[in-house]
A and B are shown apart, each in its own frame.
Chain A
Amino acid sequence: MRYLRLLVSFARISLMGELSFRVNFLLKILVEVLWLGILLIFYKTIFSKSSSVSGWDEYQYLFFLGAYYTLEGFVETFFLENCVEFSELVRSGNLDFFLLKPIDEQFLLTFRKIDWSTAPKIFLGLGLMSIGAMDLGITFEPFRVFWFLVLLFMGFSLAYSFLLVLTSLGVWLVRNQSLMEIWWLFTNLMRYPRSIYQPSWALPIRVVFGVFIPALLAVSVPAEYFLGKSDWSGIALLSISTGFFIWLSRWFFFYSLRHYQSASS
C-alpha cells in the first residue's frame, strides 16, 4: 500500500513537471503519433506488395503491431527514462542519495519518474488491436481477453527484467550510452512476429532470443494466443522465463549495487 501511494505521488509529480513545459509535452506526444504513423505507412507499404508475412495476414499483423505498441508504451512510460538516467547517477555519484532512502532501491530507481508523454502509446496500441480484432471478426470474450492481458503483462515484465539487467551494467560501464541502442535491439526483436525467424540460418537467433533471452516471446506469444495461433509450449516458455528473469534481474541489480563505488559525493 505504501508503495502504491508512492507510485501515485511519483506519477503526480512527474505530471506536474511535464505540464510546466506544455509545448514540450505536446511535442513529445506528437513524436509518438508520428512514430505510429511511420509504422503504419511501413505496414501498409509491406501489405500493398505482399498478401501475408510469415503466416500473418494484414489484420493479424495490425493486431500484433498494436500489441507491440502497447507493450513498448508501458515500458517507456514507467521505466525507460529512469533506466537511461541510472548510469548518469553512477557517473556523477548522485546514486548515493537514492541508496540512503528507506525504500526498496529497485522500486525507487526504476519507478521514480513516469514519462506521461509516452502514455498515449498504450491507448494507440489498444486502438490498433481493437481495429485488427474487429476486422478479423474476433469477439472479445472475457476469458480470452483476461488471459491475453495476463500474457501481455508477462511480456511486459520480461521486457522490464531485460531493461533492469542492462541498467545494472551501468555500474561497470559508467557511461552506458549503449543502453538505448541495446534496448533498440530488443524492441527490434519484439517488433516482428517470431515466425519470421524460420530460415535455418536464423536458428541461433531463434534459440538465443527465443529460449535463453526470450525477447521474441514478449509480444508474439500474447498476440498469437488472442488470434488463436498459439501452442502451449510458447505460453509455458513465456511463463517460466518471466518468473526466472524477474528473479535474475533483481538479483543482478543488487549485485551491481554492491559493486558501486561512490564518486566522492
Chain B
Amino acid sequence: MGKYWNIGKLALKERLVYRGDFFLSTVLRFLPMVTSILLWKAVFGSASQDQLSGFSLNQVIAYLLLVHVSRMFSSMPGLAVNLARDIREGTIKKFLIQPLDLCTFLLSSRVAHKIAYISTSLIPYAGLFLACLSFFDTFPSGLGWVYYFISLALGFLVGFYFELCIGMIGFWFLEVTSLLYVVTTLSFFLSGHLIPLDFLDQTGWVEALKALPFSYMAYFPAALFLGKVPEGEIVGRLLLGIFWAIFFWGLSRVILHLGLKQYSAFGA
C-alpha cells in the first residue's frame, strides 16, 4: 500500500508543476456557464410555461452548475489516450517487470490528480457557487448529502474503470484516439452534461438513459442533489451505480488479462 501512496504523492507534485496552465483552464471553464445561463433565460423567457420537463429555470441552471461538480469527479482526461500510447510504444512493459499492478498504479495516480484538481479549484468553484446561490431553491437533507457524496464517488469509479477499459482496447488496435472521440462525444450527451436527461422525454428513452453507466458521470449526482430522484428510487439507483462500478472493474481485469496474454513488446 505504501508504494501506491508514494505514487500518489508523486502524481500530486507533477500535477502542480504547471500551475499557470492549470489555473487558467479552471477559471475559463466557468465562462461557458454564463452563456448557458443566458441561453436558458432566453428559452424560458419565450416559453409559455414556468416549468419545462419538470425543471424550473433556477433548477436548470443549478443542474448545469452541479454537472460541473459531477464531472470534476468522473472526467478522466488523458487516461485512455496515455494508456493506449504506453501499450503502442511498449513502455507499458515496465509494469510487467516491476512489482506493480497496472490498474492500482493508475488508480492511485488518478486519485492524486483528482485531489490536486479538486483542492486547487475549490476556491474558484466556491466563488462560482456563492455567486449563483440564488439559483438553488433547495438543498439536500442530512442523509441527502451522504447519498450525494456516494454518487460522486460512484461517478469517479465508473468514469475511471470505463475509461481504463477503453484505453486497454489499445492491446488490439494501434490507434484508439478516434474511437475515444466517438465514446467521449456519446458520453458527453448520454451523461446529461449538455441538458438534463428529463428534457428528452419526447424520445421515450429517458428511463433507459438514466439506467446507463453514463448517467452516473453527470446526471445522477446532480439530479440527486436537486431532489429529482424519487426518494423510493434512490437506494436502487445507487445500487445500480455500484453494479456499474463493479462491472467495469471486472471488465478491466479481464481485458488486462487477455491483453497481456497476446501483448508483444519490441525494442529496448
Known interface pairs A48-B202, A192-B35; A34-B43 also in contact (CB < 8 Å):
no
Interface string of A178-211 (1 = CB under 8 A from B): 1001101100110110011101001001000000
Q: B52 to chain A: which residues have CB within 8 Å?
A: 49-50
Which of A34, A178, A192 has the most chain B CB atoms inside 10 A of its CB?
A: A178
Q: A189 to chain B: which residues have CB within 8 Å?
A: 35
Query: Smallest CB–CB gap between B11 and chain A, Å?
Result: 16
Partner of B28, one of A35, A45, A182, A205: A182
Known interface pairs A49-B53, A199-B38; A38-B29 also in contact (CB < 8 Å):
no
- Is B47 a contact partner of A50 (Cβ separation < 8 A)? yes
Residues of B1-56 whose CB lies within 8 A of A: 18, 20-21, 24-25, 28-29, 31-32, 34-35, 38-39, 41-47, 49, 52-53
CB-CB nearest in chain A for B185: A34
Cα distance A195–B45 in the bound complex, in angstroms: 13
Counting CB contacts under 8 A, is A264 at the interface?
no
Counting CB contacts under 8 A, is B101 at the interface?
no
- Is A24 a contact partner of B188 (Cβ separation < 8 A)? no
Counting CB contacts under 8 A, is A52 at the interface?
yes
- Is B35 a contact partner of A191 (Cβ separation < 8 A)? yes
Cα distance A46–B194 in the bound complex, in angstroms: 12
Residues of B167-189 whose CB lies within 8 A of A: 175, 177-179, 181-182, 185-186, 188-189
- Is A196 a contact partner of B42 (Cβ separation < 8 A)? yes
Query: Smallest CB–CB gap between A210 and chain B, Å?
Result: 13
Q: A34 to chain B: which residues have CB within 8 Å?
A: 182, 185-186
- Is B185 a contact partner of A49 (Cβ separation < 8 A)? no
By secondary structure, the A interface counts as: helix
Q: B32 to chain A: which residues have CB within 8 Å?
A: 184-185, 188
Counting CB contacts under 8 A, is A230 at the interface?
no
- Is A27 a contact partner of B43 (Cβ separation < 8 A)? no
- Is B41 a contact partner of A199 (Cβ separation < 8 A)? yes
Q: Which A residues are closer than 8 A to B by beta carbons?
A: 21, 23-25, 27-28, 30-31, 34-35, 38, 41-42, 45-46, 48-54, 173-178, 181-182, 184-185, 188-189, 191-192, 195-197, 199, 202, 205
User: Shortest 3 CB-CB distances between A and B: which pairs?
Assistant: A27-B178, A178-B25, A188-B32
